[in-house]
Structure 1
Amino acid sequence: MSVSPGSTVFGEDTTLPEDARGRIDRMPEVEHTSQVEFVDGANVYRSDLVPGGESGGIGVYGADLGLLETVRTGVASGTWLNAATADHPAVVLGSSAAARLGVTRITPDTLVLVDGTYFSVVGVLEPSELAPELDNSALVGQAVAEEVLDGSGDPSTVYMRMDPDEVAQARELVGRNANPERPNEVEVSRPSEALEAGRAADQTFNGLLLGLGGVALLVGGVGVANTMVISVLERRGEIGLRRALGATRGAIRSQFLVEAMVLSALGGVAGAGLGSLATLVYALLRGWPVSVPWWAGAGAVVATVAIGAVAGLVPALRAAAQHPTAALGAG
């Protein structure tokens, strides 16, 4: 969960008390807390040659050393702030902020300009699912935020981690503990709810795709069955001739069953190819890496062959049941 300043009844912005985190940390439901301070007006640039309007919207935060443990985010490259670097002009960039600033690798000479002061880049974070606002941010030590960047020291967000079973009960008490005098001026949110909602949406979307795929297989199977039934009716003369020349019912049955499977296999190969091509084009247009597992195409072909075998079974049995004399007479 996270706690941030809300607004008054007149719509004015508020601030969290300096001891808000301490009171929240004493709640028995809370396992771990950390806080950040948003440094208003501070911008981040790659160098002093970048125009002032091209800041990329990167926010500057003063952070405590336990932030990563609370939001469960790792360091993609470099290191996180420690007791030494937190008191000096050192900065850790979020994943999006590093990409916007063009920081692809970290060396002792990697610097960024933060509010007119050059900071050494010591690390780049992995994308954060529970605190996405950190992705486009520059994180410095709290002491540096106050001394170098003129931060106020007031927390802008307090993050807390607790047992999921305690969330419903604790959510009602967090605001009162953060600001006992004005609990209505505190916003309490649960970022993990958005993550859970996203996963539920993904599962629903996957279920929809599977349902559409099942309908497509059913329609394809019906199409194969109809094609083979018509083929049996049109080729009764051929069936009668083959029976008269000694072909067994098993041979006739196998012939039509194999034809149905080959017809389905051709459709499966064509469908897998078109699907892979559509995936390739869409990924390239979005700038995504292309990844089409081989087993997906192979599974599609195997599934269509199986459907074709089932759909062609009845027409094959009908063809094998044709009497030679009746079939020749019909042909």
Structure 2
Amino acid sequence: MSAANDARLRPARLSPVDVLRVGASGLRSRRARVLLSALGIAIGIATMVAVVGLSTSSRADLLARLDRLGTNLLTAEAGKDVDGKEVKLPVNAVAMVERIGPVLAATATGHVDVRVRRSDVVPEEMAPGVTTQAARTDLLDALGAKVARGRWLDAASERLPAVVLGAIAADRLGITEPGAKILMGDEWFVVTGILAKVELVPTIDRVALVGFPSAVRYFGFDGHPTMIFERSTDASVTAVRDVLARTVNPGDEHSVTVSRPSDALAAKAATDRGLTTLMLGLGAVALLVGGVGVANTMVISVLERRQEIGLRRAIGATRGAIRVQFLTESLLLSALGGVVGAVLGSAATFGFARVQGWTAVVPMWALGGGLGATLVIGVLAGLYPAVRASRVRPTVALNSG
């Protein structure tokens, strides 16, 4: 046989465009089944992209909040001594803390044992759960807090029956604007301001704040602070933390609890990472289920198209060409689900982030990883059906059905 005859008998190879066209035609003939199979892949990818996107957006927002609020705030709170009695910090505790070199600002609050009611018709036993604290006028500056409505205590109002409410305290008392009067013990106080929520020290949101001199004058407050707040340079936070307890309460430092409020936000970020891992696992399960759906679709496709496979084999298609055709169909089916899932996951991330007021962040590695996973699923799901299709004998296939 001549070389020319050998060339004529050599099977023709499909170009990449032809392979895609043949694979796409197989999907178009079973649109409903293809959409349902692609939906499984889409759900898995959408879940994974959305979880990563929302987690990343949340952490980015948290880091921005930490940058804004600062991580250099320390608190020192009075605890109990070995006999279980409440410890009183020295009256001059703030002045002693201010002597620590790196300290930039220091202030304090003190617990005042007085009930707060909206009016005298409210029984004392039905008080709304608002506690009272004495506060220094420099408290807001140290905490980075702001007044939402009205004004903060000043050198004059801290000596008068004037009170500033935390955000939650004002809501519990049903007060929305300054100027209202509330009953504190047996004394009527005028609400001069309502604070915005204090993110670093949320306990402030639930209290009514009066000036130290006012607390002494109207409630017999002894002037001893119960919590000290201090800010220092970022580089010296650890050093200040090591000496803060014994500075605040010399001789009984073990009765003082020192903490950094920003640690709670950092712990929240760690919790979010754990939840993200769990949700990624659920997304992976959904993706696996989607892969099983693709494999099932392709196996059924091989069974339904035995005559088509036999006809193609009879007119010269090689086993390799049949394998490539069905692998291409599986890849296209998985890629369709992956693209739809990536779009849905990104849309969900941007939508939820906008509602929460976050800056939406969808890492490119999440999108790339999701799409890469769909291609792997497509190959694995289509490998067995493709091999099975390539082994169909033309004569058996053409005589079936």
TM superposition score normalised by structure 2: 0.63
Equivalence map 1:90-105=2 (5 Å):
90-103=162-175, 105=176
CA offset at residue 141 of structure 1?
1.5
Cα contact 1:239–1:327 (8 A) shared by 2: no
Which fold has the larger relative contact order, with Cα–Cα distance below 8 Å and residues 6 or more apart in sequence? 2
| Counterpart Cα distance in 1 of 2:178 and 2:263 | 38
Question: Which residue in 1 is equivalent to 2:265?
Answer: 195
Greater CA drift, 48-57 or 73-82? 73-82
Q: Quick one: which of 197, 207, 229 aligns to 1:137?
A: 207
Q: Quick one: which of 301, 308, 321 aligns to 1:232?
A: 301
Residue 57 to residue 242, structure 1, CA distance change in 2 (3 Å): farther
Unpaired runs of at least 5, structure 2: 1-73, 349-354
Deviations 1:193-243 (A, max 9, x none): 2332222212222233234323432x1342133213312331233533775
Cα contact 2:298–2:326 (8 A) shared by 1: no
Q: Does structure 1 residue 83 correspond to structure 2 residue 152?
A: no
Q: Quick one: which of 155, 160, 177 aligns to 2:247?
A: 177
Question: Which residue in 1 is equivalent to 2:222?
Answer: 152
Structure 2 counterpart SS, 1:148: helix
Question: Which residue in 2 is equivalent to 1:204?
Answer: 274
Question: Which residue in 2 is equivalent to 1:25?
Answer: 98
| Counterpart Cα distance in 2 of 1:35 and 1:203 | 35
Provide the aligned C-alpha RMSD in A: 4.1
> How many residues were matched structurally?
307
As a proportion of its length, which structure holds more helix? Answer: 2
Q: Does structure 1 residue 46 correspond to structure 2 residue 118?
A: yes
| Counterpart Cα distance in 2 of 1:258 and 1:6 | 65
Structure 1 counterpart SS, 2:183: strand
Cα contact 1:78–1:106 (8 A) shared by 2: yes
Cα contact 1:20–1:178 (8 A) shared by 2: yes
Cα contact 2:327–2:386 (8 A) shared by 1: no
Aligned residue identity for 2:86: D
Residue 181 to residue 254, structure 1, CA distance change in 2 (3 Å): closer
Question: Which residue in 1 is equivalent to 2:82?
Answer: 9
| Counterpart Cα distance in 1 of 2:90 and 2:335 | 74
Question: Which residue in 1 is equivalent to 2:127?
Answer: 55
Greater CA drift, 71-80 or 88-97? 71-80
CA offset at residue 321 of structure 1?
5.8
CA offset at residue 305 of structure 1?
8.9
Which structure has the larger Rg over C-alpha atoms?
Answer: 2
Structure 1 counterpart SS, 2:125: coil
CA offset at residue 187 of structure 1?
3.0
Deviations 1:153-177 (A, max 9, x none): 1111111112343233222311222
| Counterpart Cα distance in 2 of 1:153 and 1:71 | 21
Residue 309 to residue 171, structure 1, CA distance change in 2 (3 Å): closer
CA offset at residue 38 of structure 1?
0.9
Deviations 1:278-330 (A, max 9, x none): xxxxxxxxxxx999xx999xxx9x99998667644636866986889357337
Residue 259 to residue 224, structure 1, CA distance change in 2 (3 Å): farther
Cα contact 1:228–1:260 (8 A) shared by 2: no
Question: Which residue in 2 is equivalent to 1:328?
Answer: 397
| Counterpart Cα distance in 2 of 1:212 and 1:318 | 31
Deviations 1:129-174 (A, max 9, x none): 3222212100111221111222111111111112343233222311
| Counterpart Cα distance in 2 of 1:238 and 1:311 | 27
Cα contact 1:45–1:101 (8 A) shared by 2: yes
Question: Which residue in 2 is equivalent to 1:220?
Answer: 289
| Counterpart Cα distance in 2 of 1:230 and 1:207 | 33
TM superposition score normalised by structure 1: 0.75
Structure 2 counterpart SS, 1:99: helix
| Counterpart Cα distance in 1 of 2:308 and 2:335 | 19
Equivalence map 1:279-318=2 (5 Å):
311-312=377-378, 314=382
Cα contact 2:306–2:397 (8 A) shared by 1: yes
| Counterpart Cα distance in 2 of 1:175 and 1:295 | 41
